[in-house]
Amino acid sequence: MSLRMDIGIDLGTASVLVYIKGKGIVINEPSVVAIDINTNKILEVGEEARKMLGRTPGNIVAIRPLRDGVISDFDITEKMLKYFIKKAVGNSLVKPRVIICVPSGVTEVEKRAVLEASNNAGAKKTYLIEEPVAAAIGAGLDITKPSGHMIIDMGGGTTDIAVISLGGIVVSRSIKVAGDKCDDAIVRHVRKKYNVMIGLRSAEELKIKIGTAFPIEEERFMEVRGRNLVTGLPVNLTISSSDSLEAMEETITTIADAVHSVLEKTPPELAADISEKGIVMTGGGCLIHGMDKLLEKRTGLKVTIAEDAVSCVAKGTGQSLEHMDVLKDALISEHIKTNYNVG
């Protein structure tokens, strides 16, 4: 029996999912860290830290160390990874091999930052896999054949769009417009239309419960609490789903434009495959009501939301671990070469 432990990590802007070979997904928590700035000590990580966002006293700050799919605070990311790796591995003395997925548009410097953070956090060796490839594997697509698959992974910080064939990316685009930008848009819209300031957590809740990317027949409503910008007093406000549609329109159009541009650059044979199979969507952002309908209308292609869309990237990362010997050359070794041969 092998003592070696393999871990797959979906290091997302909004949440971190950890997959252990043979066990499946063992951790799914927000990528938030709460720190006491006086002592520089970590107080909470994950769900408990998320509850503190926007609610902390002066000496405590709740940080999201990843922004738009990349590391914005290296030290905090390293500490967060250390916490999650330790939580996943437990008291095992064996250092795990770790594979982490990164957005398809990350630079060499950003790749190195992820590798260093993971290795410093206790990994024996770290590999990288591009997010659309991991998403496609997790969604159950057979990407090893000479046939085109189009995948859209809409997370918190980035939307990755890629056409994959023979285990590699043929055309791709990664934009820093996804779920978080929808939350920001809702906050701005409510402030502009109602003169009320709401928090990002409330905006996210609105997006999940009544948010829509496509006109719906039956209007839905939700009550939120905020602060009236004229009186400065707390106020309750009822927001409708058409408000959310209006608020997110620009953000969602940007994503649809990016999908269109990838389709324009796709070679004809692969475009024919995609026209036959349609597009597959993964990631938490694709669960916004009507997202699939909007893209169907825009592209004229069938759009399917993958089963268990939120976990697809983590699952795919983990499954690529289970077939590491087969996938090593196709998916991972290129990153390792570029990252360790720099300088």
pLDDT tens digits along 88-139: 888 777 888 888 988 887 888 888 888 888 888 888 888 888 899 899 999 9
Considering only CA atoms, which of 41, 12, 40 is closest in space to residue 28?
12
Q: DSSP state, 237?
A: E
Task: Give me the pLDDT at residue 338, please.
Answer: 39
Task: Report the alpha-carbon angle 54-117-65, nearest 5.
Answer: 15
Task: Give me the pLDDT at residue 323, please.
Answer: 65
Task: Give me the pLDDT at residue 331, please.
Answer: 47
Count, residues in the chain: 343
What is the pTM (predicted TM-score) of this model? Answer: 0.86
Assess whether pLDDT exceeds 90 at residue 228: yes
Across the range 316-327, mean pLDDT stands at: 72
- What amino acid is encoded at 253 in this protein? T
What percentage of the chain exceeds 70 in pLDDT?
92
Across the range 75-81, mean pLDDT stands at: 89
Residue 45's CB is within 10 A of a number of other CB atoms, namely 23
Structure tokens at 235: 């106020």
Assess whether pLDDT exceeds 80 at residue 66: yes
Q: Supply the DSSP string of 276-340, one letter for each residue.
A: HH-EEEESGGGGSBTHHHHHHHHHSS-EEEPTTGGGHHHHHHHHHHHTHHHHIIIIIHHHHHHHH
Sign (positive or negative) of CA dihedral 85, 89, 92, 96:
negative
Across the range 173-183, mean pLDDT stands at: 94
**Which of the given ranges, 102-116, 239-253, 313-327, has the highest pLDDT on average?**
239-253
Q: Could you report the per-residue pLDDT of 138-158, keeping only the tens digit for each?
A: 999 988 888 999 999 999 889
Assess whether pLDDT exceeds 70 at residue 13: yes
Contact between residue 202 and residue 226 where contact means Cβ atoms under 8 Å apart: yes
Across the range 57-74, mean pLDDT stands at: 85
pLDDT greater at residue 206 or residue 127: 206
Task: Give me the pLDDT at residue 337, please.
Answer: 42
Assess whether pLDDT exceeds 70 at residue 8: yes
Across the range 281-300, mean pLDDT stands at: 95
Sign (positive or negative) of CA dihedral 79, 177, 310, 14:
positive
pLDDT greater at residue 289 or residue 112: 289
Task: Give me the pLDDT at residue 327, please.
Answer: 58
Assess whether pLDDT exceeds 70 at residue 324: no
Query: How far apart are alpha carbons 189 and 182 in whole angstroms?
Result: 10
**Which of the given ranges, 5-19, 112-126, 165-179, 254-268, has the highest pLDDT on average?**
254-268
Task: Give me the pLDDT at residue 2, please.
Answer: 52
Average pLDDT in the chain:
88
Query: How far apart are alpha carbons 212 and 34 in whole angstroms?
Result: 32
Assess whether pLDDT exceeds 50 at residue 61: yes
Assess whether pLDDT exceeds 60 at residue 206: yes
